[in-house]
Amino acid sequence: MPGSHPQATIGFRAANVVFDAQCVSGSGGGTILIHLKISRTTIPENSSDWFPTGDQHDPAAYQGSVAVPDLCGGAQITLKAGGTFSAYVVSTDTTDKVNFRFHYSANGSAGSWSATVSVVPEPCRSR
Look at the pTM and tell me if it is higher than 0.75. Answer: yes
Q: How confident is the model at residue 61 (pLDDT cuts 50, 70, 90)?
A: confident
What pLDDT sits at residue 35?
94
Q: How far is CA 92 from CA 10, 13, 57, 69, 97, in A?
A: 7, 14, 29, 38, 12
Reply yes or no on whether the pLDDT at 106 is more than 80: no
User: Looking at residues 104-113, what average pLDDT do you find?
Assistant: 76
What pLDDT sits at residue 33?
95
Reply yes or no on whether the pLDDT at 124 is more than 80: no
